[in-house]
Amino acid sequence: MSFLSSPSRTRGHPLQPLHREVLLGHPLRSSATRRAFARSWTRSTGWPTIPIRPVVIGDGGDFVSFAGEYHLARRPASSRSRALILPGRAISGVCRESLSATLSPVVHSIPEDDWVSAEAEALLDATPGLREDLRAAMDELHAGTLQTVDAATARARIEARIKSRGSS
């Protein structure tokens, strides 16, 4: 710090914005700034709302959609010097919501940041007949009359369809 803040080395004190950018990098990388930010964060009325939407990269891999959901709970590999360390309460909150949604047979409310559940309900509302179709399918499943195919057959049929599409 003494090196960076020395007037003789940086032509002025405190550091001018340009110097600070060059010498210290992003302001949030400074531990003092980070602590101050964290303090103001915890004193606010609630945790900041971060828009979490599916991140589609390339052609939409199946786990790509998880990136938007779980980045709060994961620390980047190089977090020690760069990333803001999130409070444990926020992280455990995310995990609790997921766990309760997994264990509870009935969803009573959708957490604000749970875009997966929101998307599921939105599709149910936006697709005509989907709810009724699912209810009928569940009834058939419980009655043992649902017509199903196994996973290998399903994969073979999809691959054959894609292949025939390419050849036609």
Partner 1 sequence: MPEHRRRLTWRDRALKELEDLADVMPAAALTAVEAMERMASTGFNYGRATSEPGVWYFPTGKIGIYYADDGTTLTVQAVVDARRLRELPY
Chain residues in the site for partner 1 (CB under 8 A):
54, 56, 59-65, 101-102, 104-107, 114, 116-117, 119-124, 126-127, 130-131, 133-135, 137-138, 141, 146-151, 153-155, 157-159, 161-162, 165-166
Cα separation, 64 vs 14, in Å, equals 43
CB of 49 to partner 1, least distance (A): 19
Q: Give the CB-side neighbour count of residue 13, counting CA atoms within 13 A.
A: 9
Contacts of 157 (CB under 8 A, 6+ apart): 149
Q: Which is nearer to partner 1, 24 or 73 (CB)?
A: 73
Q: Which is nearer to partner 1, 42 or 153 (CB)?
A: 153
Q: Please, what is the Cα angle at 90 between 88 and 96, to 5 degrees?
A: 100
CB of 93 to partner 1, least distance (A): 16
Q: Which is nearer to partner 1, 24 or 93 (CB)?
A: 93
Q: Which is nearer to partner 1, 33 or 98 (CB)?
A: 98
Among residues 28, 2, 81, the alpha carbon closest in space to that of 10 is found at 2
